[in-house]
Structure 1
């Protein structure tokens, strides 16, 4: 088997790296170009939703919002006022962490992104680490946010997805 001269490798390897480096930058830049960040407003958050299951809900009308607040206010006297949301112009999403047995956790929306086929709601928050000192309390963390209505389906994504 005939070996190629060292000069060939000195030219071929850098060209190979440059070519694939440019290709990977281009695909990353185009993926970023397809995402547009949408501003959002946190309407309300709290630690007791009275909803024990973990859920992420897209709220599309006033009736659905009232149903959720019926559950939130089922043990509150007086209840939390139902926020005003213009569903013709805005979309609301409700995140619920489910029932937790300690304090020290949070749930939040970190970003809302418009992509080619979806609106992505990125879910954030934190949980206590093993060994952290936390209160022993039953919570059902929740947050409600709204943003300008888009004509795309809404999906939820956590940082590890």
Structure 2
């Protein structure tokens, strides 16, 4: 019986090595990904909404940290909409909203990147087109969700 067991173990030895190698590879990949994210200092940002008319005449960025401010913002953008947009459900104990409103010269949405420093949340606007392709009046806006922070907003 012991001899038969040794033969079976010798046959499955490559399979056992393959399974161990696979497990080690899975664990090592997770370590590399998490350490790369920690060095980046970037904040997770999720785009919740892009629309073409905000009612704002100047380009603006602002943070919304409570339900009252969110309702005021949606009240302003819903003045000319029938039916109006419904505010998203946000847990303001863990998240906050960043709102970007473009002016009437901007005809597309901006791509934003947020990095976190010791004192500030730094916003980089990656792109937006400023030429108008038609005669439509637009003032686009975007709403982004990000983790709650007490840091000040800095625009670059």
| TM-score when normalising by structure 2 | 0.68
Cα pair 2:111 2:128 within 8 Å, conserved:
no
Q: Which runs of 5+ in 1 are unaligned?
A: 1-32
| Shift of residue 123, structure 1, vs aligned partner | 2.0
Larger fraction in helix: 2
Matches within 5 A, 1:1-161: 36-100=41-105, 105-128=107-130, 134-157=133-156
Q: Distance in 2 between matches of 1:121 and 1:114?
A: 9
| TM-score when normalising by structure 1 | 0.66
Cα pair 1:35 1:115 within 8 Å, conserved:
no
Q: Which deviations, in whole Å up to 9, do the C-alpha atoms of 1:60-116 show, x marking residues without a partner?
A: 11111111111111011111111111111112111111223xx7x323243111112
Larger fraction in strand: 1
The RMSD of aligned alpha carbons is 2.1
Q: Residue 88 of structure 2: SS of its match in structure 1?
A: coil
Q: Distance in 2 between matches of 1:128 and 1:51?
A: 16
Q: Distance in 1 between matches of 2:57 and 2:98?
A: 17
- How many residues align? The count is 119
| Shift of residue 120, structure 1, vs aligned partner | 1.2
